[in-house]
Structure 1
Amino acid sequence: MIEVSGFWRDSALPFVEARRVGDGRQVCYAAHSHESFSLGVITGGRSTYLSGTSQVEVGAGTTVLMNPGVVHTCNPIAGQGWSYLMLFVDMPWLKALGFNLPAQTCSTSPALYSAVLQVFADLFDGNLDDREARLACFFNALPDYLQAATGKTQAHHPQLEAAAAFIRAHRTDPLTLQDICAASGLSRSYLIRAFAQRFGLTPHGYLLDQRVQYARAQLRTGRAIAEVALEAGFADQAHLQRAFKQHLAATPGHYRKA
């Protein structure tokens, strides 16, 4: 029987996490982001991939790349079957390698696809004693598989960036829209409209996403779900359950026991 979805973690490699999805029709996401650098490969079928302002249809053989904080979704097309593997790597480990975040969000390079599949094979092989070195070798070589950056950058808006930074810094606090407006010096109406255009989520949606990310990090350590829910700013465990499932297509319990 095909496993719908499963997470992989190894205490010997605490900076990396993987996910295997065998039936993507049952694993659908709301718009969300990750604190880690994420990349994955579509191993079967097709889906719609939205990353920032870019939307493409991706199929088997495609590699997708997601930088930290970039809002994205990847969901099935009209019930069509699809499957994929995802890798989530902590930024401090990558920064220690001197890794620079790529501008490219997807690739159909067969060479990259094969290299990513080999990364997963190496990680899942607990008999290898050089898994970290192999992973480091892959990330050092990753730029060679990707297109050179075009130089096009998103317009910088200091007040919107300040609003997002304020939310991240206070994500576990009982924030109000008025608090965010005061911290960024923006009006309520402008903040709601411009924030969504810049980040792909409303300020409230961004706050919720940040709280889910915080809860995810805490659950990885094995902490109690109810305790994490309250600490992350959710009303109760049920509130966390709903948000976690919408953002990560998994329940907190399923994720925690991986």
Structure 2
Amino acid sequence: MPDSLRAWHPPVPSVREVYRAAFDHAYPPHAHDGWAVMLVDDGAVSYDLGRASHIAAPGAVTILPPGISHDGRSAVDGTIYRKRVVSLDSEWLPERMAGLSVSRPTVRSVAAVSAAKRIHSALAEPGDLLAAEHWTLAVRQLILLHLGTGERRVEDAPLSRRVRSLLDERFTESFTIAEVATELGVHPSHLARSFSQTYGLAPHQYVLSRRVDLARRRLLEGAAPASAAAEAGFFDQAHLTRHFRRILGTTPRAFVSQ
């Protein structure tokens, strides 16, 4: 596998940069001013964080805190490793988490690994930035649980009803969970968790459901798929088709031709 590196900045709250790399580069000791969430897909990375040595390998999430020195190299000399990293603002986690994460940078939770992978899957599809934001918040909560500081249950039905009302008004528009949370005066993580507990699905899933319902009605009224996609708030017709098939098991064109 040849060396490769791709980096970009998606317009997702708290996310500074996403990059994917496949190489055997050895990083000298350095520090960042934000958090990093790393997945290793192939090979393994040996690194020193603070005064301890660790291995980042497939099947775990590695968290690197801001302001603390770390390095990195292939765990096997001459062997390429493949990794995916999401770089986040320093405020993504409370400041006190930096010290706790130094001794516990490896999160082996299946849920955390799955959520981290879903960030990258969402970013790979045009129009799914709201899903990427949701999974970033999910990873945040799972890391807090890993460090022993997260809340396992949140009950806030009144907030959830307010959120649903706002989503019902704006589901065809472009917005972020962070914007809704700011308007309601709560943290995005609290908003997402309370909504999910109350209604059984995440905010972005609720929005997609509403969009598919509207597109379906417009298709039955005779609208072309591209027009229905635009009216319902999808990025484009392909974005509509992907989620229409996932939810209803068929494509928009097949739906109206049966």
Larger Cα-atom Rg:
2
Q: TM-score, normalised by structure 1?
A: 0.49
TM-score normalised per structure 2 = 0.49
